[in-house]
């Protein structure tokens, strides 16, 4: 019987560490080189073949886009261990539930993951229960306007 000098948890921890390192180190990502050949989704129209690629943008537009993508990556929450554990268990992303000030200004989000092939009705039921539980908690705290989800006096915590 093969008995390696490391555990499954060690492997997951190392995978999470490496993933987090890649996400947190802009020099390793080479965002510009990775982006150049990729199509810009909003320019594809009816046929992806006619899409404009990032590399086809003017120099200034490309550099601005690359810098904005890098800023988004710099602000990514470190979910690396969670993501590695989901993948190791064969789970897939299902849905996101978000509350807050609208648009992309979330103050609270719940992620659900499941094994492939989850019954769609069960999925809908689980999402509805989670949504209802969050609404109940907000209502119990007198938060009826989701723009008021965050307490103005609370400190932003860096994780």
Q: Which tops the pLDDT comparison, 63 or 75?
A: 63
> At 156, is the pLDDT very low, low, confident or very high (cuts 50, 70, 90)?
very low
d(CA 99, CA 137): 12
Look at the chain and report how many structural domains it folds into.
2
CB 89 within 8 A of CB 104: no
> At 121, is the pLDDT very low, low, confident or very high (cuts 50, 70, 90)?
very high
Backbone angles phi, psi at 95, to 5 degrees: -160, 155
Residues 42 and 96 in one domain: no
CA 16: distance to chain centroid?
Answer: 15
Residues 13 and 53 in one domain: yes
- pTM, full prediction: 0.54
Residues 109 and 70 in one domain: no
CB 74 within 8 A of CB 93: no
Most confident of 75-79, 101-105, 107-111, 121-125: 121-125
Q: Give 54's contacts (C-beta < 8 A, 6+ positions apart).
A: 35, 36, 37, 38, 40, 62, 65, 66
Predicted pLDDT of residue 27? 61
Most confident of 35-39, 99-103, 111-115: 111-115
Predicted pLDDT of residue 129? 93
CB 80 within 8 A of CB 20: yes
**Mean pLDDT, all residues of the chain:** 75
**Domain of 18, in residue numbers:** 8-74
């Amino acid at each position: 019987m093969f008995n390696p000098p490391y555990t499954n948890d060690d492997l997951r921890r190392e995978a999470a560490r490496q993933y987090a390192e890649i996400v947190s180190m802009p020099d390793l990502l080479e965002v510009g080189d990775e982006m150049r050949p990729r199509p810009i989704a909003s320019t594809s129209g009816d046929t992806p073949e006619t899409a404009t690629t990032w590399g086809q943008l003017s120099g200034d537009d490309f550099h601005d886009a690359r810098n904005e993508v890098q800023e988004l990556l710099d602000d990514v929450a470190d979910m690396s261990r969670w993501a590695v554990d989901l993948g190791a268990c064969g789970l897939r992303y299902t849905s996101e539930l978000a509350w807050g000030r609208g648009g992309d200004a979330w103050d609270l989000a719940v992620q659900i993951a499941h094994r492939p092939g989850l019954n769609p009705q069960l999925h809908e039921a689980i999402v509805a229960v989670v949504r209802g539980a969050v609404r109940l908690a907000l209502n119990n705290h007198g938060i009826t306007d989701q723009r008021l989800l965050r307490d103005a006096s609370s400190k932003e915590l860096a994780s």
